[in-house]
Structure 1
Amino acid sequence: MLNEKLLEVLSHEGVVAIASCSNNEAHLVNTWNSYVNVREDGRLLIPAAGMRKTQNNVELNNKVKVTIGSKEVMGYKRLGTGFLIEGTAKFLEAGSEFDMMKEKFSFLSRVLEITVTSAKQTL
C-alpha cells in the first residue's frame, strides 16, 4: 500500500496534516514527516503529545485523512510531490510499539496508530 515514492517523501522533512471529524466538525493537527514511523505491515505510528481533539474525534469516528509531502521529491511533472492517505486510527497508551516510540520521542504521551486503507499521490 505504501509505495517507494511515499517512503521517499517521508525520508525528507515536511509537514504532515492529520484530519479527523466528529459531530459534523472537521479538525486538523500537524506533525513532521520525520516523526512518522512506518511499520512493516504499512501502519503509521505517530507520536502524540497533544492531539486531544483528534483523540476525542477518533473515539467517535476512527476514519482519518492525512496529507504528507516534500518539495525535495520528484512529482508527476516537477520537483515536489505529496500524498493523500486515508485510514482508520486509534491511540496507543501502552505496549511494545508505544515503548519503541517513547524511546525515540520522549515527549509523547500516546501514539497515534493509523491503519492505511488508501494512499494516492496528488502532485
Structure 2
Amino acid sequence: MLNEKLLEVLSHPSDGIVAIVTQGKDEPHVVNTWNSYIYVTEDDKLLIPSAGMSKTEKNIEANSKIKLTIGSREVQGKMYKGTGFLITGTGNFIKSGANFDLTKEKFEWARAALEITVESTTQTI
C-alpha cells in the first residue's frame, strides 16, 4: 500500500511538517506533527506519538476517518524536486499493546499513539 516515494519522504533526514485532519462536531480540525515522528509498522500502519491531540482524539472517537498531508522539499516529485502525499484512512488512539510500546520506546513523552490504518495514498506533487 505505501509506495517507495512515500516511504522516502517519511525517512528523509530533512524533517517536514505533517497535517492531520479529523472531522469535529461543527468543522474539520487540523493538528500538525513531523515526518520523523511517524513510524511505519510491518503491516503498513502509521504510528504517531501523542502528548496532546485531545481534540483529535475526541473527534476520532466520534468519527474514525482521518486525512494526512505529508511532504518534503528534498525528495524528487513528479516533475521537480519536492513532493507531497494525501493519505486517507481510519485512526485510533492506543494506550497499550505492542504498537503503543513501539511508540513509547521511541518517544518516552507519548501518552498515546495515533494508529492509522491507511486506505489510500495519492501523490499530489
State TM-score, norm by structure 2.
Answer: 0.96
Residue 22 of structure 1 and its aligned partner are, at CA, apart by 2.6
Query: How many equivalent residue pairs?
Result: 123
Alignment of 1:54-65 (within 5 A): 54-65=56-67
Residue aligned with 2:83, SS: strand
Whole-angstrom distance in 2 between the partners of 1:97 and 1:85: 20
> Aligned residue for 1:45?
47
> Aligned residue for 2:31?
29
Identity percentage of aligned residues: 59
Q: Which amino acid aligns with 2:8?
A: E
Whole-angstrom distance in 1 between the partners of 2:102 and 2:43: 16
Q: What residue ranges of structure 1 are gaps of 5+ in the alignment?
A: none
> Aligned residue for 1:3?
3
Residue 88 of structure 1 and its aligned partner are, at CA, apart by 0.2
Residue aligned with 2:115, SS: strand
State TM-score, norm by structure 1.
Answer: 0.97
Q: Which is further off, 62-71 or 92-101?
A: 92-101
Residue 40 of structure 1 and its aligned partner are, at CA, apart by 1.3
* RMSD (CA atoms): 0.7
Residue 100 of structure 1 and its aligned partner are, at CA, apart by 1.6
Whole-angstrom distance in 1 between the partners of 2:81 and 2:113: 32
Q: Deviations over 1:44-85 (max 9, x none)?
A: 000000000000000000000000000010001100000000
Whole-angstrom distance in 1 between the partners of 2:73 and 2:43: 27
Residue 25 of structure 1 and its aligned partner are, at CA, apart by 1.1
Whole-angstrom distance in 2 between the partners of 1:22 and 1:34: 26
Q: What residue ranges of structure 2 are gaps of 5+ in the alignment?
A: none
> Aligned residue for 1:87?
89
> Aligned residue for 2:18?
16
Residue 24 of structure 1 and its aligned partner are, at CA, apart by 3.3
Structure 1 ranges of 4+ moved more than 3 A: none
